[in-house]
Amino acid sequence: MMNWFKRYIVAGSFLLLLSFPNASAQETAEEMIQDYLDFATYEAGIIMPAQLTEDVFHDFVFIDTRDEEQFETETIPGAINIEWREILLNKDELPEGKKLVLFCNTGTLSAQAMLALRLVGNENALALQTGIKGWLADAPYKPVN
């Protein structure tokens, strides 16, 4: 189960490294990513649908990282839509002081967005493992719109 998460961390880190134009900046980015990987636990940055009980649900801000069409079709009630590739462009609009739960269909794209936020210092970002599909199947609390 964690194997896919590690792959996305590595893939996201690789893409971040490619964006740096010179070797010095790339080395700094590699060090920054390695520091994060050394510090992060296996559970860092993830939340499972089963953890979203009624007593904690409203403590989170849900970010749907899918495209607008998917968001309008079905989402977690109260979620805001910021596509995964635009998460850093919109990071100043994210509420401070609350845990952010990013989700997509399965957790793949939201994990990349979560990693990007964590690498720039937002420790409140969590990826919903198994995405909205897992939430629909396994969440103990599902408020109605």
Q: Find, among 45, 83, 81, 42, the residue nearest to 61 by Cα.
A: 81
d(CA 141, CA 86): 29
Give the start-end residues of each E strand in 12-76: 46-47, 60-64
Integer CA distances (angstroms), 86 to 3, 29, 62, 79, 117, in order = 25, 20, 15, 16, 11
Maximum CA extent, the chain: 51
User: What are the tokens at 47?
Assistant: 């939340």
d(CA 53, CA 36): 29
Q: How much is the pLDDT for 1?
A: 42
Q: How much is the pLDDT for 2?
A: 45
Task: Give the count of beta carbons closer than 10 Å to the beta carbon of residue 73.
Answer: 9
> Could you tell me how far CA 81 lies from the centroid of its own chain?
13
Instruction: Using DSSP, state whether 74 is helix, strand or coil.
Output: coil
- Spans of all domains in the chain: 43-138
Q: What averages of pLDDT result for each successive group of 10 residues across the chain (145 residues)?
A: 52 58 70 65 78 95 98 97 97 91 96 91 92 97 88
User: What are the tokens at 96?
Assistant: 């401070």
CATH number, domain 43-138: 3.40.250.10
Q: How much is the pLDDT for 112?
A: 94
